[in-house]
A = this chain, B = another copy of it.
C-alpha cells in the first residue's frame, strides 16, 4: 500500500494519494456491511436497549464530587476527570472587554478514535451507538473509543475501554489521522482531545453496541437530527479527505453546487488566497488580539449566582452549571453523578459559502474564545446563541447573523440540528447551516474573516490550534455534500 520511490532498495515513502482515494470510495458507498435500512434498524434497536435515567440533583447530592470550601470549585474525589472552576478574561476586541465565568478545567488529554478496516475493498468505520447523559434524542453514533485518560486508566474502577489498545499502541496498524484538537473554548479551559483514525487489517471482534459503517453512510446520517455525535464529527473532519486522484471515480465537470464542493477538496483547483497568505492572516489575528485569562476560584466569579442546584448568570443569559445523577445500563460503571453545562436555547452554527470561479469557498472567522491555547481559532461565519445578545447593544450583534437568519430557502444547502458533547453538556443543541450566497456578495470582508476552500481547512486540521470544533463539524458536513448526493450515488 505504501508507494516507494523507484530507486532500487529504497526505504523511503513518498506522498500517498491512495489513502484519499480509498476514503472517497468509502464516501461513495451507501451500502456496506449493512445497508441503510439495516443500519437504521440497528440504531433503533440500540435506542430501545440503552436505558438511561438522567435526573437533576443539588450540587451537594453529587456522590464522589465535592465543593472546596476555599474556592467553591467542584471536583471529583479522585482529583481526576474535570473540575468546575472560574476564569477571569480580559480581551482587547469585542463588545465586552472583561468578564469572569465558570469553566470546565479538564487538563488531561482524552482519545477520540475511530478504527477503520476494509470489507470487500471499502473502508468501514467501527462506530458505537452510545448514550451520553446530555444527549438530545438518546443514543448517538460515537467513535470506536471516546475516553478520557481517567476513563482508560480506570480511576472509576469500571470496565476497561474496549478497542483502546489499537489507539494506545499503533504499532503494526496504519495511522490515517492523529492530532490534538481543541473543544468548546467558551466552556472548556484549554481542553484538547487526541483525534485519531487507525486502520487495522487483522480481524476485529464486533462487540455489542458496535457496527461497521461506511463513510458514505455516516455522511447520510449526518443529515439527520442528533444522530452523529460531536466526537464523531470532529474525528471525521481530521481524515485526509481529498478529491485528488478520484477523477476516475467520479465526474464533476458541472457548474452545479456539488461539483463546486468536490473542486474545493483539491489544492489543484486553486483558492482565493494562497496558503501562505492564509497563514499570514492567522498570524496577524493572533498578534492583533490580546487575550489574558486566569483560572480563579469559582466563588470569585462576578455576575454569577452560585445556587444549591444551579450556577447561573445574573442576566439569565449564556449557560447554567447543573448537577445530574445518571443511572446507566451498560456503561463502564453503573451510575454516577456529575456537573454539566446547560446552555440556553438552541445555538446557531452557520457558514456562508460561495462558488468563486467554480470552486466552493467558506467564510471563516478568526474567533477569540478564552479557552483556546493560542488566542484564536478559525470558526464558522456565525456561531452564537442568539438569545445571549438580547441584553447587549445592537452593535454587539454578530457579523453576518442577518445573512443567516434571512437566507432564502433555496440558498440553504445543509440544515440539521446536532448535539454537542453529551458527556459534559446537557441538551446542548446547535442548528448547523450551510448557506450559499452569490459570487458577487461579501467580496470585501472584515479583517477577522476570510474566504477559504474546504481543502485549505482540511490542511489546517492536520495541525492543532487552527480550526475550532464547530467549524470542524461543518467541514464534516461539507464533506457529506461532496461525494454522496441525496438520491444516492453508491
Contact = CB atoms under 8 A, between A and B. Distances in A.
Copies of the protein in its oligomer? 2
A287 B196 CA distance: 13
Given A276-B177, A357-B5, A13 B271 contact: yes
A160 interface: no
Interface stretch (A213-221, A303-311, A459-467, A470-478): A459-467
A464 B462 contact: no
A89 to B, nearest CB: 16
Contact of A270 (B12, B194, B270, B287): B12
Interface string A347-382: 000000000111100000000000001100000000
Contacts of A9: 357
A243 to B, nearest CB: 14
Interface string A234-258: 0000001000000000000000000
Interface string A253-293: 00000000000000111111111110110011011000000
B272 A11 contact: yes
B276 A176 contact: yes
Interface in A139-195: 170, 175-180, 194
Contacts of A170: 280
A304 B284 CA distance: 39
A464 B270 contact: no
A234 to B, nearest CB: 14
Nearest to A288: B109
A7 interface: yes
Given A5-B270, A276-B175, A287 B194 contact: yes
A4 interface: yes
A10 interface: yes
Given A7-B357, A373-B374, 4 more contacts: A12-B269, A12-B272, A14-B270, A276-B462
